[in-house]
Each structure stands twice: as structure tokens, then as C-alpha cells.
């Protein structure tokens, strides 16, 4: 956790305790659209505006890292037309938001599998990652074709290979060592996880990393998640007592 670095900011009261790393499950795009008689893809299109808002707000506040669940490994079960649109939208985002990423000083990182993504998406992704590598602002992490169980399985295979080859011993395999072999190596611990759309589950998202995160769920779908909602989640986080398995002073 960190204290809000800009005391002149009007976004939150001075001295508000900020989460260093916020993770968001951006749920409800399709339901939002269908509830308005629109195609599901329109919900995804509108959701890009919310991505821009949380990215800009995180930068203004000084949040160190923001991880967004863009596409899960299970989402490949969706209709082909929706998946094709999502890939086109992702490619478009990486191109059209590139200047904003640079202006805001964001550093782009992508976690998840890459072997199932179209080459055109990978090309734009790699270019934006390269261009933003020296930025010093919020680290914007996009979880694309990501699954928490797959991430842990991949890490176990990597560690098992090093153990087999004699590079490490069993005593080297600590929690910290496992964390160093996950996609999120080098990022701060997740302090706050936000889920839109109302569902009370983590949906195979950052299973290791969410161990001690504070959870905040809203019924609002992602396209209607506002800056006030985002700031409200952070304000709520600021007043929670985090025990990490221990007790508070009063207890």
C-alpha cells in the first residue's frame, strides 16, 4: 500500500491509502448490451472507454500497477464471430490507445498465452510494449488468453525442469521462488481486486496473487462502471483493516 502521492489531487482526500496494485475482472459487457437491445459486441466496444478511464485515473493517483482481465483461456468457447470481433477490438485498442499510453507514461505488459493470438495482434502488442518500456508511470498489465491454473501449471513445469537439471535443489523452492516464475514476477502484490457484473467468484484469475487481496464487487456492468465507482472502491479499500492472518492491535 502507498499513500496518495499528490496531496493537491481532487480525486481522493489527501492521505488516502492507495493500493499499489489493482486487478479488475471486467465483466458484464455482453449483458449490458443485451439489456439495451444491442448486440453483445457493442458492450465490448463501450468497455474500451472504461478501460481508458481506469488507466487514466490510476495514473493520476499514482497506482503502481493495474491488471485487467481482457480474455480468459475459457473465453475461446464463445461464438467465433464474437471472438473475431474481440481480436479486432484488441488490435484496434493497441493502435488507437498507443499515443495515450505514451502520453500517460504507462508501461504495457501482457500476461497469458500468446500462441493462440493472431499475428496482427501480436505485432501491435509487441510494438506498444517496446515503445512504452522506458515509461515510468503505472504499469498497465493486460491478461489476454490468461488462466490462473495454466499460469501455475506453467510455473511448476519450469521449476520441475530446473530441479531435474540440477540448477536448483528442493530447499530453493520457496513461495518467493514460485512467485518469481509466474507471469507477474516483478509486480507488486495485488492489494485490491475489483469485479464488475455482480458475480461472486474469481473466475480463474490470478489465483496465486489474490491470496491476500481485498475483494470489491459491484453489480454495475463494465461499460457503466464510472470514475466515481472506481474511486469508491479505492476509498473503501483505504478504510479496511488488513490482517494477513493475524490480529489488529485492538483485537
- Judge whether 171 is annotated as a binding position: no
Catalytic position from the list 6, 8, 27, 199: 27
Point out the catalytic residue in the list 6, 8, 75, 219.
75
Burial label, 65 (beta-carbon count in 10 A; 0-12, 13-18, 19+) = buried
Q: Which long-range contacts (CB under 8 A, 24 or more apart) does 179-183 make?
A: 179/208, 181/155, 182/151, 182/152, 182/155, 182/208, 182/209, 183/111, 183/112, 183/146, 183/151
Identify which of 24, 31, 40 has the alpha carbon closest to the alpha carbon of residue 85.
40
Q: Is 44 annotated as a binding residue?
A: yes
- Beta strand pairing call for 21-25 and 107-111: unpaired
Decide if 75 is catalytic.
yes
55 is in an annotated binding site: no
Element (H, E) at 152: helix 148-164
Is there a binding annotation on residue 121? Answer: no
**Residue 245 known to bind ligand:** no
Q: Is residue 31 marked as binding? A: yes
In terms of phi and psi (left: phi > 0; alpha: psi -120 to 50; beta: otherwise), the region of 206 is left
> Does 27 show up as a binding residue in the annotation?
yes
Q: Is 208 annotated as a binding residue?
A: no
195 is in an annotated binding site: yes
Is 199 an active-site residue? no
Catalytic residues: 27, 75
Provide the annotated binding site: 27-32, 40, 44, 72-74, 76, 78, 195, 201-203, 214
Provide the annotated binding site for substrate: 28-32, 40, 44, 72-74, 76, 78, 195, 201-203
Provide the annotated binding site for Mg(2+): 27, 214
Amino acid at each position: 500500500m502507498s499513500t496518495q502521492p499528490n496531496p493537491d489531487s481532487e480525486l481522493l482526500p489527501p492521505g488516502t491509502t492507495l493500493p499499489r496494485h489493482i486487478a479488475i475482472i471486467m465483466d458484464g459487457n455482453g449483458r449490458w448490451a443485451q439489456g439495451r437491445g444491442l448486440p453483445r459486441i457493442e458492450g465490448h466496444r463501450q468497455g474500451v472507454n472504461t478501460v481508458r478511464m481506469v488507466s487514466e485515473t490510476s495514473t493520476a493517483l499514482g497506482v503502481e500497477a493495474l491488471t485487467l482481465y481482457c480474455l480468459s483461456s475459457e473465453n475461446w468457447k464463445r461464438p467465433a464471430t464474437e471472438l473475431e470481433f474481440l481480436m479486432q477490438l484488441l488490435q484496434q485498442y493497441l493502435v488507437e490507445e498507443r499515443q495515450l499510453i505514451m502520453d500517460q507514461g504507462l508501461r504495457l505488459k501482457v500476461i497469458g498465452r500468446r500462441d493462440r493470438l493472431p499475428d496482427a495482434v501480436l505485432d501491435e502488442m509487441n510494438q506498444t510494449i517496446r515503445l512504452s518500456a522506458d515509461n515510468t508511470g503505472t504499469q498497465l498489465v493486460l491478461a489476454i488468453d490468461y488462466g490462473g491454473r495454466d499460469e501455475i501449471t506453467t510455473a511448476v513445469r519450469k521449476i520441475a525442469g530446473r530441479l531435474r537439471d540440477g540448477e536448483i535443489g528442493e530447499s530453493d523452492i520457496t513461495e518467493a521462488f514460485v512467485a518469481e516464475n509466474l507471469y507477474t514476477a516483478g509486480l507488486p502484490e495485488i492489494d485490491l481486486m475489483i469485479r464488475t457484473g455482480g458475480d461472486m467468484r474469481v473466475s480463474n484469475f490470478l489465483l496465486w496473487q489474490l491470496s491476500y487481496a481485498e475483494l470489491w464487487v459491484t453489480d454495475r456492468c463494465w461499460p457503466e462502471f464510472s470514475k466515481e465507482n472506481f474511486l469508491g472502491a479505492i476509498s473503501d479499500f483505504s478504510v479496511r483493516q488488513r490482517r494477513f492472518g493475524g490480529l489488529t492491535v485492538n483485537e
